[in-house]
Structure formats: structure tokens, C-alpha cells
Structure 1
Amino acid sequence: MEQLHNELKALIIEALNLEDIQVEDIETDAALFGDGLGLDSIDALELGLAIKKKYHIVIDADDSQTREHFASVANLANYISSQRN
């Protein structure tokens, strides 16, 4: 799971052009939005597209669970793992 966490952190940095941030700077359980990494709704769309491209998993923006999936790297990794099985 740690490998997936690091893959997702790298994907976030690459997809969102976060040039000043390293994989080590993103805490696995920290919030991605608001007070955590500070991402916004546009970032969520970009990240959703990057996940779709890399993992072939579509994250439905209208799903009530989506906000929970995007809450942290850990949540995102759990969701992707559950969809792959």
C-alpha cells in the first residue's frame, strides 16, 4: 500500500504542477483540500482525470462518497485498491 501512496503523491505533484512540493512533503493521512495540501475543486477535477488515465478508474463527481475518497492520499489509495479488485 505504501507504494500506491507514493505513486499517488507523485501523481498529485505531476498532475497539478506542484513544483515546490516533494513526495515526502505530502502526508499520507493529511487533508488534500482546505488546511492540508490546500487543493481546490479545479485540482480535484485534474486529479480525477489523472487517476482515470493512470488507473482506469472513473471517480464520479456526483457520488456522495467522492469527497471522502479525495480526503487524503490514504483514502484515495483505499478507494483505488477497492476498485482494482
Structure 2
Amino acid sequence: MATTLDAVAERAQQRQQLCADVKELLVDRLVLDVQPSHIGDDQPLFGRGLELDSIDTLELAMAVEEQYGVMITDDDTDSLLSLNRLVDHVEANRS
């Protein structure tokens, strides 16, 4: 049972690190005037969230592809609704 708990703890730590890395990527690539640590995991990326626009969407898609080898296509637009959804998409599609 300890092995299972260790695996869950490791998975949670990896997820937290990926969230932190994606926040850094967002701030750096989109030149956002916010500290990465101030971005909530469930914060919307558009609208009342980070207020990204369509140009930001293209830049973010390119950054995710360059950094993680994961494409964001027109069919994947739900993955851009929040940071958590983006991280889910990266995790599910990373090589």
C-alpha cells in the first residue's frame, strides 16, 4: 500500500511542477504583467481570467508545441479554458 501512496504523491508532485512550468511559460511567452504564482490553477485564460485574446491563443499554442511537443488544434479549444485544462491536455498528449 505504501508503494501506491508513494506513486500518488509522486504523481501529484509532478502535476504541481507541470502547472508551475506552464504558468512560467504563459508569463514569459505572452509577456503577462502577473507573477506566475498568482495564476490560479482553475483560473480562466480568457474573459475575466487572464484576459488573453486570439493572438495570445496562437502564441500559446506555438509555445506549448515547442516546449512539450503537444499540438493544440481547433478541436482542442476546450483545453484553453483554464490552466488545469491546458495541463490536462499536455499530460494526455505528451510523448
TM-score, scaled to structure 1:
0.89
Match of 1:38 in 2: 51
What is the number of residues matched between the two proteins? 81
* 1:21 partnered with 2:21: no
Amino acid of the structure 2 residue aligned with 1:14 = D
Aligned partners of 1:52 and 1:67: how far apart in 2? 14
Q: Does the Cα contact within 8 Å between 2:69 and 2:94 map onto a contact in 1? A: no
**Offset at residue 84 of structure 1 (A):** 2.0
Amino acid of the structure 2 residue aligned with 1:6 = A
Match of 1:56 in 2: 69
**Offset at residue 58 of structure 1 (A):** 1.2
Aligned partners of 2:41 and 2:23: how far apart in 1? 8
Aligned partners of 2:61 and 2:94: how far apart in 1? 16
Among residues 74, 77, 80, which one is paired with 2:90 in the alignment? 80
Percent of paired sites with the same residue: 38
Q: Structure 1 runs of 4+ off > 6 angstroms?
A: none
TM-score, scaled to structure 2:
0.80
Unmatched tracts of structure 1, length 5 or more: none
Match of 2:10 in 1: none
Unmatched tracts of structure 2, length 5 or more: 1-14
